[in-house]
Structures are given as structure tokens and as C-alpha cells.
């Protein structure tokens, strides 16, 4: 999830766990605790772009990280906040839960989270929520603002924090439910159209959980389509993208290619843009794919120009999102 979500959600969780003992300080401690796993951003200072993709949401998003870091921070806080009356166990619960929730909600989007690092490089991706979803975040943002203002001894503080957490949780559950609908719709399409599909994934389009991006993999490539919860048609319009993995033989940076294939979890397509070899990770979707016939993918890596790849995960995500295209997007969500 985005940094704002972790900050405000951490503040609300902190209020629930230790608001009575720590007062408003718990909002800032909660924000820090919830943001702590993203300390892995410092790895970008010395790693290549492809290696940094694997480092992010890696070891700092693992259960091992919780087991090591939470007790240390609990001990330090018990010493530093001795007068607050919180036991080591209380502090351990505070830090452990905050870090776990960060790792847990990160797994709901497409990037992948390394829960089992360093023992397994398998990434966990539930693909039920876009990386930044305003309808998930708006409730803890509102609660955070109010909690900054109202007095420490106000009995409504805890109710407010719980309410924000509950509303965000309901939205999370709704996303899981809508994904099950999208999966059922895709499975029917595979049967009715006799699509050859070894595996597939479904994930929400930007900023909502109603319009879903669908990819079904075959030997030579991918059938890609979109489905809305409000679609009236029983059919999904697919377009086909060839994998073209044989083009990777032309790549000179073999280690980079290996990193990208591992990061993409095998969902990739290779293209030639004039004389440039391009690696596309399909999991992050297409630029205006719900309205254009041959869109570019949001994630593309220029294999022979490594220094031109500093921002690749959301590159071009909101390109050409003008008033007209936003209207098209909203109508497509509505089932048009």
C-alpha cells in the first residue's frame, strides 16, 4: 500500500492498542511502526533497479523481520517510556501487530510480499486491491485528523479509531468478494470460448475494486480483458499479447533478465520498440487498456538502457488521464 495509508492506519491502530497510556504520542508511534517495513527503500542507493525490485517488500516484509525487530523495539520502548505503565508484552503486541498488518495489507495488491524470506523467495499476492485506493484510505485519514484535535481523555477517541479500522476492513472484504466474482466470470469464459489457459490472474484497475484487469496465460502469450461488477454482457472482450520470450536471447544483461523474470512471477511479454528491447511485467496492467486497443503496459523495462529505468513500476500509470479519459474510465466501471 502507499505510505499515506500506512501512516494513518498505523495511527488508528496505535490509538486502539495504547491510546489511554500514551495519549497523542501513540499516533506518531503508530505511524512509525506501521511504516517501518518500508525502510527497505534505502537499498535503492546501492542496488541496481532490477535487484531493488526484489529487495523491496523482501526481508523487511517477512515474518522473520517481525520476530527479530518487534522484541528489540518493545524492550527499548519499555525503557524509554517507563512512566507510561506499559509492560514488555504490551509493547511487543504493539510493534508486532503494527508490522504484521503492514505486511498483511501489502499482500493484497499485485507487487508481491516476501513473507517467507529468506527461507523462500515466494511472493504472496492476493491481487484484490490497487496499491493506492482512496475508498480504503479515506476513513483512517479522517479519523487521524480528528484524533489530532480532540482531547486525550475523550471517550470517543477509541470508538473513532475502531470505526475507521472497521470501515477499511469492510472495503477490504468487499474487494475479496468482487475478486471471487471476477474469477468465476473468467472461468466461465475459459469454458465457453475454449480458451487455452495454464494459469491466470485477476486484479483491480486503478483506484477502485469494481473494474478488474484479467490475464489468462497460454503457451504463446496472454489473453487480456476487463470485467466490471456492473457489466451487463455475459462475455469478456479479450485481446492477445504474445510473450515473445525468445527475444530475451538478444539481451546482454542476463542477470537483469533473471531478476525481472523472477519479479514478474513469469507474467511477462517481450517487445521490440524500434531497436529497443523491452521487458513488460503484465501484473501491473495497461495504460488506458479498458478503452484502447493496443495499449502499452504500465511496467516496462528498457533492457539495453538500464539507466533509463529509475521509475518503472508505475511508469505511465496515469498518462493521458485527462477529463475525457476519466469519463470513459468511470463509464467502464459502471458497465459500459
Give residues with Cβ within 8 angstroms of 171, minimum separation 6: 133, 135, 136, 209
Query: For the chain, which residues make up each domain, given as ranges?
Result: 3-174, 193-333
Segment-wise mean pLDDT, segments of 10 residues, the chain, 336 residues: 95 96 94 96 85 93 98 95 89 98 97 96 96 96 96 91 98 97 94 89 96 96 96 91 96 93 96 92 95 91 78 74 95 94
Q: What is the distance between the alpha carbons of residues 263 and 244, in angstroms, rounded to a whole number?
A: 18
Per DSSP bridges, beta strands 297-302 and 276-286 are antiparallel
Kindly report the number of other CB atoms within 10 A of residue 160's CB atom.
21
Residue-wise pLDDT tens digits, 121-176: 999 999 999 999 999 999 999 999 999 999 888 989 999 999 999 999 999 999 99
The single-letter DSSP state of residue 117 is T
Q: What is the pLDDT of residue 311?
A: 64
Q: 7 burial class (0-12, 13-18, 19+ CB within 10 angstroms)?
A: buried
Q: Which residue's C-alpha cell is 511508469?
A: 315
Q: Which of 305, 329, 311 minimizes the C-alpha distance to 253? A: 305
What percent of the chain is predicted at pLDDT more than 70? Answer: 98
Q: What is the pLDDT of residue 312?
A: 67
Give residues with Cβ within 8 angstroms of 252, minimum separation 6: 303, 304
Give how far the C-alpha of residue 250 lies from the chain's centroid of Cα atoms, to the nearest Å: 32
What does each C-alpha distance from 105 to 31, 116, 136, 173, 198 come to in angstroms?
Answer: 15, 15, 11, 12, 28
Q: What is the distance between the alpha carbons of residues 91 and 243, in angstroms, rounded to a whole number?
A: 50
Please answer whether residues 291 and 325 qualify as being in contact, where contact means their C-beta atoms are separated by less than 8 angstroms.
yes
- Half-sphere exposure of residue 303: CA atoms within 13 angstroms, side-chain side: 27
The answer to pTM > 0.85 is: yes
Q: What is the pLDDT of residue 136?
A: 97
Q: Which of 198, 223, 199, 201 minimizes the C-alpha distance to 212? A: 201
Q: What is the pLDDT of residue 45?
A: 81
* Omega before 118 within 30 of 0, i.e. cis: yes
Amino acid at each position: 500500500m502507499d505510505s499515506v495509508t500506512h501512516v494513518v492506519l498505523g495511527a488508528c491502530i496505535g490509538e486502539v492498542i495504547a491510546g489511554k497510556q500514551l495519549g497523542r504520542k501513540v499516533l506518531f508511534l503508530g505511524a512509525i511502526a506501521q511504516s517501518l517495513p518500508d525502510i527497505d527503500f534505502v537499498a535503492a542507493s546501492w542496488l541496481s533497479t532490477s535487484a531493488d525490485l526484489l529487495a523491496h517488500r523482501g526481508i523487511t516484509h517477512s515474518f522473520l523481520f517481525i520476530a527479530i525487530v518487534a522484541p528489540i523495539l518493545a524492550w527499548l520502548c519499555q525503557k524509554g517510556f517507563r512512566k507510561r505503565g506499559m509492560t514488555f508484552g504490551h509493547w511487543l503486541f504493539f510493534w508486532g501487530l503494527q508490522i504484521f498488518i503492514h505486511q498483511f495489507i501489502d499482500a493484497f495488491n499485485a507487487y508481491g510480499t516476501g513473507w517467507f524470506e529468506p527461507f523462500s523467495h515466494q511472493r504472496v499476492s492476493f491481487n484484490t486491491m490497487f496499491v493506492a485506493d482512496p475508498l480504503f484510505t479515506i476513513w483512517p485519514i479522517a479519523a487521524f485528523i480528528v484524533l489530532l484535535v480532540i482531547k486525550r481523555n475523550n471517550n470517543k477517541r477509541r470508538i473513532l479509531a475502531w470505526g475507521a479500522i472497521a470501515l477499511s476492513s469492510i472495503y477490504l472484504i468487499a474487494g475479496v468478494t468482487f475478486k471471487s466474482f471476477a474469477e468465476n466470470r473468467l472461468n466461465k469464459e475459459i469454458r465457453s470460448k475454449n480458451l487455452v489457459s495454464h494459469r491466470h490472474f485477476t486484479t483491480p484497475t486503478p483506484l477502485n475494486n469494481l473494474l478488474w484487469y484479467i490475464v489468462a496465460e497460454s503457451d504463446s502469450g496472454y489473453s487480456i480483458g476487463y470485467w466490471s461488477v456492473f457489466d451487463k454482457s455475459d462475455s469478456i472482450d479479450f485481446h492477445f499479447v504474445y510473450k515473445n520470450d525468445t527475444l530475451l536471447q538478444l539481451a546482454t544483461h542476463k542477470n537483469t533478465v533473471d531478476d525481472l523474470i523472477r519479479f514478474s512471477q513469469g507474467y511477462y511479454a517481450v517487445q521490440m520498440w524500434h531497436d529497443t528491447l523491452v521487458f513488460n511485467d503484465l501484473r501491473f496492467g495497461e495504460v488506458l487498456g479498458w478503452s484502447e486497443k493496443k495499449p502499452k503496459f504500465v511496467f516496462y523495462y528498457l533492457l539495453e538502457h538500464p539507466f533509463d529505468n529509475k521509475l518503472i513500476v508505475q511508469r505511465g500509470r496515469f498518462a493521458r488521464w485527462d477529463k475525457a479519459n476519466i469519463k470513459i474510465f468511470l463509464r467502464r466501471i459502471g458497465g459500459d
